[in-house]
Structure 1
Amino acid sequence: MTEKTIRLTTAQALVKFLNQQYIEVDGEMAPFVDGIFTVFGHGNVVGIGQALEEDPGHLNVYQGKNEQGMAHAAIAYAKQKNRKRIYACSASAGPGSANLITAAGTALANNLPVLFLPADTFATRQPDPVLQQLEHESSAAITTNDGFQAVSRYFDRVQRPEQLMSALIRAFEVMTNPASAGPATICIAQDTEGEAFDYPVEFFQKRIHYLNRQIPTKRELTEAARLIQASKTPVIIVGGGARYSDAREELITLSEQSNIPLVETHAGKSTVEFDFKNNLGGTGILGTLAANKAIRDADLVIGIGTRYTDFTTSSKTAFGPATKFININVSRMQTYKLDAFQVVGDAKATLAELAPLLKGYQTQFGDRIAVYKAEWLAERTRLQNTKFNREAFTPEIKDQFDQATLNEYADSLQTEFTQTEALITINDTVAPDSIVVCSAGSLPGDLQRLWNPAIPNTYHLEYGYSCMGYEINGALGAKMAAANNQEVYSIVGDGSFCMSHSELLTSLQYGKKINIMLFDNSGFGCINNLQMANGSDSFFCEFRDSDNQIMQVDYAKIAEGYGAKVYRANTKEDLISALEDAKKQTKTTLIDMKVLPKTMSEGYLNWWNVGVSEVSNKASSKQAYEEKQANLKNARLY
């Protein structure tokens, strides 16, 4: 190490360091940090703001409109780039930084790398309490930013300029490690941002972070092959780890070679396109009938890069008592789930090693895979053609709203459009390479079941945290990561739109066209389904006013006020026309669709364990609790 130094402020050193971080995967090298989102306030504008103004290097700087919203855009960028490129997020002290905490949870739940840079209170404490600082009688060291500790893969505080060096090196090790990828939070005291230090020049040399593909041991591969060869009906669950590993070709090779069906989690969907003959679609609570039939038949489940959330396992009721598991994952902790045989390794590399060991092996599924898929496609066609009538309509979500209530919605919203018909119409009309973005409500269920991706890496669902408001803000990040002229469609309900759509304006500001498909059923429809299915009446999940009238909101007018091109479509014909015209636009569009409640798809061969009340005066609630207890008898305990 030389004695040569360069005098920089902490913030200037941060920006200079970010410019020198590169990542190399399979011999291809690229900058790891492409830019930074920021909402400036007194805690970061004269520190990080000054550094970015003076010399941003190659970093693109985007002005967010809400800290959580811009952070969700950054998270979506990393997700769409398969964790190989990131954006950082800078926020002011206090409420600005607090707004990042929810987004940090989103990143952590989804194992997505983002660098959070929340400003902190003064290191010197001279002006305490400063504007937006909290005071605790028990400790002067506690700040708003302590909330990040629960939602960060790595957390650190910088209160002296020289602390920045070790903090950044540790943060980037975490973010570029496939086994630990997630949000890194470095809180920088606002006075420290502007303080100078003589940094060693070596700290700013080009750093290449290598994503080496970990290959399992011979023991792991040999035993995994033996377990598969001993099974009759193995099924592969394709998780997010398979997608981030770019394991498409290896999955297809093994599936075709041995006739093993593929089923998908939200994070894994579109790793392999739906047209592949053995791809049966989403599995679990929101899964297709075909995928859930295959899982029901499985005597061995091969989980590739999956966390086995309750929505994948149907609260651990999807599998037979004798079903065995092989878990392939870069995270050793994840491989231990469900008492599986553990294979610690990169999905792509592991499958490439495993396939030759299984030459000649065939499952006993025979033509069942094709039969299951054909049955499901027929069911999808039925859902595509559901039609409302005012006399005797049976919605997909049965026995909740009576005919009079459904007619009330049809009259109030001036629509007879069903949600499943609308969604499949979008899937059939948009370009095959379009990216679809969603996160919360009933729409993720419809998407996992009904959306058939034609091209890999075009299905973008945040379902680790299922954070309402991700849909539009995440669409901006996906668009920033997308190829030129690749359309991005945000699939969003009225509930999530109301929760957050701040970066709609940002998309217009920077010419990043997104297409917002707004499904308005005047309420939190998904949770309304849940409460009524478990014995409660409809209670504060519908959007009704103080006179109990269904609320009517012109969401198109809201988007039009921002400057978006807008459409209103309450029929299939109008929707197709709007979609075709939207393709011609160069700026963000919004299609406002009024759809009837209870017309989303229902589950197949699934169960979800939720906290049903054990004590109630209502017979329906008591029955729901009894049903829960009965289902728990079929569930694995861990």
Structure 2
Amino acid sequence: MSGGAVTGTVRLTVGQATVRFLANQWTERDGERQKLFAGCFGIFGHGNVAGIGQALLENELHAPPGERLRYVLARNEQAMVHTSVAYARHKDRLQTWVCTASVGPGSTNMLTGAALATINRIPVLLLPSGTFATRVSAPVLQELEVPYAADVTVNDAFRPLSRFFDRVSRPEQLPAALLGAMRVLTDPAETGAATVVLPQDVQAEAFDWPAELFAERVWHVRRPPAEASRIAAAAELVRAARRPFVVAGGGVHYSGAEAALRDWCEQTGIPVGETQAGKGSLPHGHPQLMGAVGSTGTTAANALAAEADLVIGVGTRWSDFTTASRTAFQDPAVRFVNLNVAGFDAGKQSGLAVVADAREALAALAAATEGYAVDDAYRARQGELWRAWDARVEAAYHPPVEVTGALAPGLLTQAQVLGAVNELSDPRDVVLCAAGSMPGDLHKLWRVRDPKGYHVEYGYSCMGYEVPGSLGVRLADESRDVFALVGDGGYLMMPTELVTAVQERVKVIVVLVQNHGFHSIGALSDSLGSQRFGTRYRYRDVQSGRLDGPALPVDLAANARSLGAHVIEVHSIGELEVAIREAKAAPADGGPVVIHVETDPTVSAPDSGAWWDVPVAQVSELDSTRAAHAAYVEHQAAQRPLLTPSDPEPSA
């Protein structure tokens, strides 16, 4: 795992040793090597300016080119973790960034990012600073004092959010902490946020380190094969199925299994539904692609899911959106096969667990099911269902005059905006989103033409991910334009990294959709009988005392312009198309471009009829809530525990 033998000692501070170690870490998979860390995002304060900050300066000035760790100044600690996650996802989890922050609020601002990384199974290394390990000056500025435990700090909040956690209270502890973090970051089954807490006094402390700590290390990212008996059992279930259905998750992309999935589905005729993370597993137009499945799915995928007698999950963690809160799969005898590198996820849905790399498992399953294929009637049904759905997408992208004519002047529908970006962007461009109504609309409507062309963070669905996430994807691949689609609610959460994009001259295209409130939650509130309460950006009416007055005079275009972005304001579909072309033509090193467009939040995208379980108040004085609860009870009746065993022994 490491290079040649290195002897002797090197006297460095803990901060300097950390930076030198990180600059020499590599990953390898299938014989291809890459630096594990592309660089370090940081915001300095008294907790890290003299430790990691000084070490990064020294590295920038004096390290050999091959041992430099690029430093990028971020504007928000949560945002820099989002940028790192987006970068790592685009790099199939083989590369990521380091994030360093000062003590107290600086470090705890990274908590949301840690949760997002771990939930989405994406590697990122966090170096939160801590208060004094010696406690010589305690209590210091920003120190948490807990009367019952003197060793507790605010950084203990990272423990449940991290896949690895350690605190370096003495220099001697650093090697074990860093090596432990590397192990988790490069493990496809265990990866997520790795947190190594560095107290501010320890960061500046000098120590004589064994020189071998800084030797080049190459971490092999494994591809565990499937057990032959598990493949045989899965093949037996496939051969017995008349209506099999594949659910493709993010593991298809992370293992580079797109071609293996395509080949097997073409061989067998098995249709494919995609999760948010798995979208793009097959390209738009492939005869077996039925599009999104679940609560934000297509009518085609959900119809086949409801009828399936066997469901093969590939690299999915089976979220409630994927299963439509356990209402998607309605065949009384449905069985599940789960191909997943993580045993935890492979064991869900009472399925037959095939714990393996997705690419390896699909190749083995294809060999074991050679000669099997669904019948012609099932193939024909796939085509009919897909053509019907695709026609609905076309109508949403180009709505009839009875829809557009009812809109207020200057307003578009959200589906029109998505359609224009989809049709005018290049096939290799990336669309990025995270929260609000757009992830659901994108999941249903977006036509993916490249495996890496779709990037929606929907494990944590974190508002504010969009701008920093687009920066991460663009840093990962400058040959692709990145379109970040963000509503006004999400934009207001975190526009700060526009400044970082300006500073680094990174071109990202932000399509800022202004609808004066929370589109998604407004619609959800309506459906739950809560009448869009608290979801609109309105003045408080002086007569009613409620937030139902005129729309606020917020000018987000002016805000983006003040942060240094080039802003294009549009008020018609024609102007939007011109703006997209202008943004595409902007120079690669010209910084961010923001397209500002207003939409009508009451016009929804086509509905697939699937359900999402959000409880409704059981008693209420509101007629709207009582009606919503009655509908909720009706939907609940379709929920299934999915406890049927589906783990047969293979036939002799």
Given the two structures, how large is their TM-score scaled by the length of structure 2? 0.93
8 A contact 1:520–1:595 mirrored in 2: yes
**Counterparts in 2 of 1:514 and 1:392: CA distance versus 1, 3 Å:** closer
Asked if the contact 1:69/1:501 (under 8 Å) is kept, the reply is no
The residue aligned with 2:235 is 225
> How big is each residue's C-alpha offset from its partner over 1:354-375, in whole Å with a ceiling of 9 and x where there is no partner?
1121111111312111111111
**Alignment partner of 1:539 is 2:533:** yes
The yes-or-no answer on 1:328 pairing with 2:323 is no
- Corresponding residue for residue 551 of structure 1: 552
- Find the residue that maps to 2:621 and give its secondary structure: coil
Q: Where in structure 2 are the equivalents of 1:438-517 lying within 5 Å?
A: 438-482=433-477, 484-517=478-511
1:378 paired with 2:396, answer: no
Deviates more, 1:52-61 or 1:237-246: 52-61
2:187 matched residue in structure 1: 177
- Answer yes or no: is 1:528 the counterpart of 2:522: yes
Matched residue SS, 2:629: helix
Q: Assess if the C-alpha contact under 8 Å between 2:59 and 2:69 holds in 1.
A: no
User: Which residue in the other structure is 1:595 paired with?
Assistant: 599
Task: Give SS of 2:459's match.
Answer: coil
Q: Which residue of 2 aligns with 1:356?
A: 367
Structure 1 pair 391–485 and aligned structure 2 pair: CA distance change class (3 A): closer
Equivalent position of 1:400 in the other structure: none
2:648 corresponds to: none
What are the superposed Cα offsets for residues 115-173 of structure 1, whole Å, 9 maximum, x if unpaired? 00000010001111212222222222121111111211111111101111111111111
How far apart are residue 322 of structure 1 and its match?
1.8
* Alpha-carbon distance in 1 for matches of 2:400, 2:134: 67
SS of equivalent residue, structure 1 residue 310: coil
Q: Is the 8 A contact 2:188 2:222 kept in 1?
A: no
Deviation at 1:603, TM superposition (A): 3.1
Letter in 2 for 1:334: D
Instruction: Name the CA shift for 1:362/1:319 in 2 (closer, same or farther; >3 Å).
Output: same
**Distance in 2 of aligned mates of 1:634 and 1:21:** 50
Could you list the runs of 5+ residues in structure 1 that have no partner in the other structure? 394-406
Amino acid at match of 1:328: L
Q: Distance in 2 between matches of 1:538 and 1:79?
A: 34
CA displacement at 1:225 relative to structure 2: 0.6
Identity of aligned residues (%): 40
**Is 1:294 aligned to 2:304, yes or no?**
yes
After superposition, the C-alpha distances for 1:170-207 in whole angstroms (9 at most, x for unaligned) are: 11111100000111000111000011111111222221
For residues 387 and 142 of structure 1, the distance between their equivalents in structure 2, rounded to whole angstroms, comes to 61
SS in 2 for 1:165: helix
Report how far residue 389 of structure 1 moved: 5.8
2:320 aligned with 1:310, yes or no?
yes
3-state SS of 1:82 partner = coil
Residue type of the alignment partner of 2:489: G
Partners of 2:490 and 2:240 lie apart in 1 by 47
Q: 1:25 to 1:452 in 2, by over 3 A?
A: same
User: For the residues of structure 2 that align with 1:84 and 1:2, how far apart are their CA atoms?
Assistant: 26
| Structure 1 residue 3 displacement after superposition | 6.4
Q: Distance in 1 between matches of 2:326 and 2:539?
A: 40
**What is the CA distance between 1:387 and its match in structure 2?**
5.0
Separation of aligned partners in 2, 1:336 and 1:378 = 37
1:608 and 2:606 correspond? no
Cα offset, 1:623, TM superposition:
2.5
Partner-residue secondary structure (3-state), 2:322: helix
Instruction: Find the aligned partners of 2:131 and 2:86 in 1 and give their Cα distance.
Output: 29
Counterpart position of 1:72: 82
Distance 2:321 2:627 in 1: 23
CA distance in 2, matches of 1:282, 1:613: 30
Q: 1:390 to 1:312 in 2, by over 3 A?
A: closer
* CA shift for structure 1 position 388: 6.8
- By how many angstroms is 1:386 displaced? 2.4
Separation of aligned partners in 2, 1:25 and 1:485:
23
Relative distance call for 1:217 and 1:391 in structure 2 (3 A) is closer
Contact 2:615 2:632 in 1 (8 A): no
Query: 1:163 matched to which residue of 2?
Result: 173
Q: 2:265 aligns with which of 236, 255, 258?
A: 255
SS of the equivalent of 1:312 reads coil
Kindly state the Cα deviation for residue 390 of structure 1 after the two structures are TM-superposed: 9.3
Choose from 43, 46, 51 the match for 1:39: 43
Query: Residue 391 of structure 1: CA displacement?
Result: 11
Contact 2:117/2:123 (8 A) holds in 1: yes
Secondary structure of the structure 2 residue equivalent to 1:55: helix
> SS at the partner of 1:112?
coil
Task: Quote the residue 2:137 is aligned against.
Answer: 127
How much has 1:528 moved relative to structure 2?
A: 0.8
Per-residue CA deviation, residues 585-626 of structure 1 (Å, 9 max, x unaligned), is: 122100100001122315313111112111211232123223
Q: Helix, strand or coil: the match of 2:578?
A: helix
How far has the Cα of 1:214 moved from its partner?
0.7
